[in-house]
């Protein structure tokens, strides 16, 4: 970036008409050539452009024509004018590390990201922050159900000891550009096998499945030659109520006709009049077009959640070794050819052809301790319990029950009894003390399930294992009834698992959860002088948001806090709040409750609060500091205490990856860095307390490091201490005998927020988040007796 000029200019761009927006780039490009005399200008595709040359804006506007690929001409008017802060200081990217500027030079970074995207838009499809290359003929990565996986390049400016461009691979599903007839034959009529369409084919039986796919996608309608008109693009609402030979609509003269007769009257005989039409355009209008004349538009980036089958197939394509991932990145960079772009050259940017080499350190894993000081070592991110017993267990013998669903050809009593025997037998090896015989009951409907819970609660059962049926009562319903209505502890397991996948390892994993739920502690870590922080409360928080098309559903806040000596036992608080709110609104109330519980266990308040906050983007750090940390301080002030507070933002949504030199091996088949690898130089901001850590062994694909930003540290804790403490906490997750990818307090907060989402399932939400929360309060006595029920 040595040739980059000292400043750039920022201009507002106004393009009319405002729709269709997808031709804005083409319109601006015409405007740049004709009215700006070919100046090197980077346009963001919406309302801004950047140039290193000062542009004449007085009267600088003009009309342009854009011709789409179907031959239609669109007229646009483009106007540019200076912004209030016209000049952008590009020098800020050279001196932020020298001048100790703690605020990131956001304007300069935003400008250069628009510049960097210039060549990508010419060759790829943009979706979010990534640019996807269309699939090559005969090289489609088919995800099934009409979708394909495209591979894209993610790119962003990041600030380390100098500015870097962070590049990585993205994977996303796109609808395959097929004719609608091909879609129906290959996917729509039968998701597993190709089915030939004939003149008698009817879509009624497949209607729901087809509409799930086509609703909201764009299709290209190609009128017959006899119409003498250009193809048109429409958004699909769904299928017409009836087939083309029966579906009626009104002509301009108010006469009614069927779609089939309309086309026959214009010299086109439908080949498949028995098929439904596509209902397209404004939903209120009755615009029906025959399926045989439509095809799916290519390169559509849909804002919809992938199905289970798609996700599974996507993982198969995406889970590659570091070497393969690096190769994909290099190939995409060669395809886009950033350095050949005149706009990038004019801004003095040149991208070198290889990755930066960074210095790494590998932290020593802690030793794991079980009952009677039985020690086990962590190797490559995991350890074995062997014949160890859990560290702490309740002394009482637990009454327990197993519930299963009555359905034809479902589970039978003997299968359930056999499961109960195996479960209790293995529980004894870990010292979980269950009564010899489980109470086994059956339920037929949700009302009878309620009755079972009432009876078991009355008879003081400590644990109910509920076998979730393959069809019928759902996990969400079971948890709502057990935890909100009755206050009884449950452990769910799927019927399919009991019948097909039951083995010692699976029961062992269940017992890890069950012991925690029954107030036991599975393990602790051997005392480490480096990370010995006595009287410390570990706090984790996460906020989960609804999908973009569900903005009427509230966001769910999950906060978990430790109440033991080891950072192993936690209690939880959840809240509902506005779906647009990123920061936790009731932090003072939540932390106040956590401090009260901590005091109940220890008869004193903590000297340190170590707060891991998950799910926050870089731009929200100031809000977290001003609102959430202020809430924590307020909760402490009410109790007249002043503990030291350290807040680490846990960032997983980034695209930094580590590619070790060397090749995959038998013990490291994806060639990842070892668990405990830390990077805290070169690629981290020189004026921020920040580090990357890979704390887990990646089971498949390239390991994603977690980034930690320390935004508060009133106890002046050393960076080495914080790194080792964080790594240690990744070994305390109660569900497994592995080190996880981020610290246990934050991981448990994620589970709390997920449980809050379960409480919302199946309900129509009409009140404010606060009112809806009051309707879903967890049974108070249950929360007190089994604080880790949510694990």
- Would you state the pLDDT for residue 676? 97
Q: What is the mean pLDDT of residues 63-74?
A: 87
The pLDDT tens digits of the residues spanning 354-365 come to 899 999 999 999
Q: Which residues of 134-173 are buried (b: 16+ CB within 10 A; e: fewer)?
A: ebeeeeebebbbbbbbbbbbbbbbbbbeebbbbbbbbbbb
Q: What pLDDT shows up at residue 99?
A: 62
DSSP one-letter code for 626? I
pLDDT recorded at residue 215: 95
- Closest by CA to 335, choosing from 183, 573, 533, 122, is 122
pLDDT(662) > 90: no
Whether the per-residue pLDDT at 618 is higher than 90: the answer is no
pLDDT in tens, 22-31: 899 999 999 9
Give CA–CA dist 768/764, Å, rounded: 12
User: What radius of gyration do the chain's Cα atoms show?
Assistant: 30
Cis ω for the linkage preceding 17 (within 30 of 0): yes
Predicted confidence band at 758 (pLDDT cuts at 50, 70, 90)?
very high
% pLDDT > 90, the chain: 79
Confidence of residue 56 (pLDDT cuts 50, 70, 90): confident
pLDDT of residue 550: 74
pLDDT at 101 over 60: no
Question: CB-based contacts of 338: which residues, under 8 Å, 6+ apart?
Answer: 116, 119, 344, 349, 351
* Residues sharing a CB contact under 8 Å with residue 403, sequence separation 6 or more, in sequence order: 440, 441, 442, 443, 449, 452, 464, 465, 466, 467
Lowest mean pLDDT among 297-311, 430-444, 504-518: 297-311
Q: Give the pLDDT confidence of 666-723 residue by residue, as tens digits.
A: 778 899 999 999 999 999 988 889 999 999 999 889 999 999 999 999 999 999 999 9
pLDDT of residue 304: 84
Overall average pLDDT of the 322-351 stretch: 95
Backbone dihedral region of 781: left (phi > 0), alpha (psi from -120 to 50 degrees) or beta? alpha
Please tell me the distance from the alpha carbon of residue 53 to that of residue 40, in angstroms, as a whole number.
8
- Kindly state the average pLDDT of the residues 488-502: 95
Residue 479 DSSP SS3: helix
The helix-helix angle for 629-638 and 587-602 (nearest 10°) equals 50
Using alpha carbons only, what angle is made at residue 12 by residues 8 and 16, rounded to the nearest 5 degrees?
A: 145
Contacts within 8 Å (CB) and 24+ apart, 509-512: 509/735, 509/736, 510/423, 511/426, 511/427, 511/430, 511/432, 512/734, 512/735, 512/736, 512/737
CA max distance for the chain: 90
555 vs 756: CA distance, rounded Å: 9
Position 58 pLDDT exceeds 70: no
Q: Enumerate the β-bridge partners of residue 690.
A: 709
Do 650 and 614 touch, CB atoms closer than 8 A?
yes
DSSP strands (E only) in 581-659: 608-614, 644-651
Number of Cβ within a 10 Å radius of residue 193: 9
Question: Could you tell me what percent of the chain has a pLDDT over 70?
Answer: 98
Mean pLDDT, range 576-580, rounded to an integer? 92
Residue pair 404/421 in contact by the 8 Å Cβ criterion? no
pTM: 0.91
C-alpha span between 418 and 409 (Å, rounded): 17
pLDDT tens digits for range 157-202: 999 998 999 999 999 999 999 999 999 999 988 766 668 899 888 8
Average pLDDT over residues 508-536: 92
Tokens describing residue 215: 């609703």
Q: Summarize the confidence of residues 319-330 as an average pLDDT.
A: 94
Return the pLDDT at 549: 66
Residue with tokens 């290209």: 220
Q: Which of 141, 125, 212 is nearest to 176 (CA)?
A: 141
Confidence label for 94 from pLDDT (cuts 50, 70 and 90): confident
pLDDT at 100: 55
What is the pLDDT, as a whole number, of residue 275? Answer: 95
Q: Can you give the pLDDT at residue 84?
A: 85
The pLDDT tens digits for 35-45 are: 998 999 999 99
Q: Nearest-CA neighbor of 495 among 432, 434, 406?
A: 406
Structure tokens at 603: 């008869």
Query: What is residue 409's predicted lDDT score, i.e. its pLDDT?
Result: 79
**pLDDT, the chain, mean:** 93
- Contact between 288 and 303 under an 8 Å Cβ cutoff? The reply is no
Q: Please report the pLDDT score of residue 292 as a whole number.
A: 96
């Amino acid at each position: 970036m040595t040739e980059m000029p000292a400043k750039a200019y920022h201009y507002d761009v106004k393009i009319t008409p405002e729709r269709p927006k997808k031709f804005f780039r083409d319109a601006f490009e015409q405007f740049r050539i004709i009215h700006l005399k070919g100046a090197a200008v980077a346009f963001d595709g919406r309302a801004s452009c950047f140039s290193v040359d000062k542009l004449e804006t007085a009267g600088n506007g003009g009309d342009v024509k854009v011709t789409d690929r179907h031959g239609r001409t669109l007229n646009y008017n483009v106007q540019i004018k200076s912004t209030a802060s016209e000049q952008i200081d590009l020098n800020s990217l050279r001196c932020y590390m020298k001048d100790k500027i703690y605020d990131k030079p956001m304007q300069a970074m935003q400008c250069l990201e628009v510049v960097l995207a210039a060549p990508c838009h010419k060759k790829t499809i943009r979706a979010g922050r990534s640019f996807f290359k269309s699939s090559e003929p005969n090289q489609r990565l088919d995800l099934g159900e009409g979708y394909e996986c495209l591979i894209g390049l993610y790119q962003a400016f990041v600030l380390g000891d100098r500015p870097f461009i962070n590049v990585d691979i993205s994977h996303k599903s796109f609808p395959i550009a097929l004719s609608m007839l091909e879609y129906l034959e290959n996917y729509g009529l039968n998701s597993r096998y190709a089915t030939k369409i004939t003149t008698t084919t009817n879509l009624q039986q497949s209607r729901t499945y087809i509409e799930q796919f086509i609703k909201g996608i764009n299709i290209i309608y190609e009128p017959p030659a006899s119409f003498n008109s250009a193809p048109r693009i429409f958004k699909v609402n769904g299928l017409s109520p009836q087939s083309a030979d029966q579906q009626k609509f009104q002509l301009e003269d108010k006469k009614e006709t069927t779609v089939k007769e309309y086309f026959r009257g214009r010299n086109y005989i439908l080949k498949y009049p028995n098929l439904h039409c596509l209902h397209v355009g404004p939903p209120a209008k009755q615009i029906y077009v025959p399926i045989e004349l439509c095809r799916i538009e290519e390169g559509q980036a849909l804002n919809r959640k992938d199905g289970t089958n798609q996700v599974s197939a996507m993982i198969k394509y995406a889970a590659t070794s570091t070497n393969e991932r690096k190769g994909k990145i290099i190939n995409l960079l060669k395809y886009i050819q950033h350095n050949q772009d005149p706009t990038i050259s004019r801004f003095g940017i040149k991208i070198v052809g290889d990755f930066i080499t960074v210095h790494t350190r590998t932290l020593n894993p802690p030793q794991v301790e079980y009952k009677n000081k039985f020690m086990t070592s962590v190797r490559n991110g995991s350890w074995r319990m062997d014949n160890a017993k859990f560290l702490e267990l309740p002394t009482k013998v637990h009454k327990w029950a197993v519930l299963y669903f009555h359905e034809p050809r479902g589970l039978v009593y003997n299968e359930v009894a056999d499961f109960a025997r195996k479960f209790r037998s293995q529980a004894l090896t870990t010292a979980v003390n269950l009564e010899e015989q489980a109470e086994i009951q059956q339920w037929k409907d949700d009302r009878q399930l309620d009755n079972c819970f009432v009876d078991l609660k009355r008879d003081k059962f400590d644990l109910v294992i509920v076998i979730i049926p393959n069809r019928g009562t759902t996990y969400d319903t079971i948890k709502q009834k057990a935890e909100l209505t009755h206050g009884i502890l449950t452990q769910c397991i799927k019927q399919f698992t009991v019948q097909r996948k039951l083995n010692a390892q699976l029961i062992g994993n269940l017992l890890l959860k069950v012991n925690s739920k029954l107030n036991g502690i599975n393990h602790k870590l051997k005392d480490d002088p480096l990370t010995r922080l006595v009287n410390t409360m570990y706090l984790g928080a996460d906020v989960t948001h609804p999908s973009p098309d569900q903005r009427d559903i509230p966001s769910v806040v999950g906060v978990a806090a430790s109440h033991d000596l080891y950072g192993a036992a936690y209690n939880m608080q959840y809240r509902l709040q506005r779906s647009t709110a990123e920061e936790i609104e009731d932090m003072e109330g939540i932390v106040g409750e956590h401090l009260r519980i901590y005091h109940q266990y220890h008869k004193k308040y903590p000297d340190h609060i170590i707060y891991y906050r998950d799910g926050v983007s870089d731009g929200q750090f100031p809000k977290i500091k001003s609102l959430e940390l202020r809430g924590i301080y307020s909760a402490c002030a009410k109790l007249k205490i002043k503990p030291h507070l350290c807040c680490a933002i846990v960032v997983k949504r980034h695209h930094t990856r580590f590619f070790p030199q060397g090749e995959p091996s038998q013990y490291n088949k994806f060639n990842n860095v070892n668990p405990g690898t830390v990077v805290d130089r070169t690629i981290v901001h020189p004026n921020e307390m920040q580090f990357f850590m890979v704390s887990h062994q990646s089971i498949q694909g390239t390991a994603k490091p977690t980034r930690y930003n320390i935004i508060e540290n009133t106890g002046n804790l050393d960076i080495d201490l914080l790194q080792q403490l964080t790594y240690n906490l990744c070994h305390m997750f109660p569900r497994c005998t592995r080190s996880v990818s981020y610290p246990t307090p934050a991981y448990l907060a994620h589970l709390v927020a997920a449980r809050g989402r379960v409480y919302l399932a199946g309900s129509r939400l009409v009140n404010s988040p606060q009112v809806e929360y009051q309707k879903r309060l967890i049974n108070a006595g249950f929360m007190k007796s089994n604080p880790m029920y949510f694990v």
